[in-house]
Homo-oligomer: A and B are copies of this chain.
Amino acid sequence: MSVVEKAIGLLNHFSTARPEIGLSEFCRLARRDKATTYRHLTALEAVGLVEQNPTTRAYRIGPAALRLAELREATVPRRDGVLQPLATLADRTGESAHVSVLSGSSLHSLAVHESTRHSTRVVIDVAILPLHATASGISAVAFGAPELRDAALANMNRFTDFTPTTPEALDAAVAEARRTGISTSDSGFEAGVHGMAAPIYDQSGALAGAVAVASVATRMTAEQEFTNRTALVEAARQITRNWGGTVPAVVEAAWADTLTPMPREDAAR
């Protein structure tokens, strides 16, 4: 791992729950010594990616982040086409909704919307989603390029007792996702969190990311699952349209099958 990755990796320890981090705390989080951590932080500070709270001396994300994000949206506009469908999804399901984008073979969180219906809800606060342990990741493997399966297999960390850690377990989840058009992960990443996700596409025609709903597992009923499924399909269609893509016929067919299991009169369209 290069110095650059190590240094920038420090930024991953920031979250909305932990927006400012002191030097010593950084050393503990990053499991590195003080001198190295300090130099990395001052380097990041020099380029504006972090700055120090002048009163507490704690470090926080710096202003350069804003400029980079502006450039990103100017280059690859994604965020705008996502916020409205995401809000609707969170509303309709009453759960936390989020969208991730595929970059190379990793899935980056793009936007989150938490519903206020329940007092308990899932907080998504992670930068890079593991491919094998999240519903979004399973969607990526199921509907993305074959290399994504290799990438998933190359990094099968066990997060909970339910994390799929064998190729067979992964393939089973992937097969189910391909059959229904919706991937599922029950406590695979975090215990007590039930995730469902659908693939989204952009103008390139290739898989671009995933839209997902994260529910408190104890709240999942057959009815809730059907609501999630319906709302997810709608959100995936909208985001795909906003990004200038089209949902592949095979995915639309899978969605149609599971949404109208018995009669299939309106399966066309």
A residues contacting B by CB (< 8 A) are 2-5, 7-9, 11, 14-16, 19-20, 39-40, 43-49, 51-52, 54-55, 60-76, 78-79, 101, 103-104, 106, 108-111, 127-128, 204, 206
Residue of B nearest to A8 (CB): B47
A222 shortest CB reach to chain B, Å:
34
Q: Indicate if the CB atoms of A4 and B40 lie closer than 8 Å.
A: yes
- Give the shortest distance, in Å, between A134 (CB) and chain B (any CB): 16
Q: How far is the CA of A43 from the CA of B104 in the complex (A)?
A: 12
**A62: B residues at CB distance < 8 A:** 72, 103, 108
**Given the complex of chains A and B, what is the CA–CA distance between A110 and B202 in angstroms?**
29
Residue contact A5 to B65, C-beta cutoff 8 Å = no
In the assembled complex, the CB of A220 is this many whole angstroms from the nearest CB of chain B, namely 28
The residues of B that contact A67 with a CB separation of less than 8 Å are 108-110, 127
Chain B residue with minimal CB distance to A109? B67
B-side contacts of A14, CB under 8 Å: 71, 75
Alpha-carbon distance between A70 and B11 when the two chains are bound, in angstroms: 13
Contacting residues, chain B, for A46 (C-beta < 8 A): 5, 104
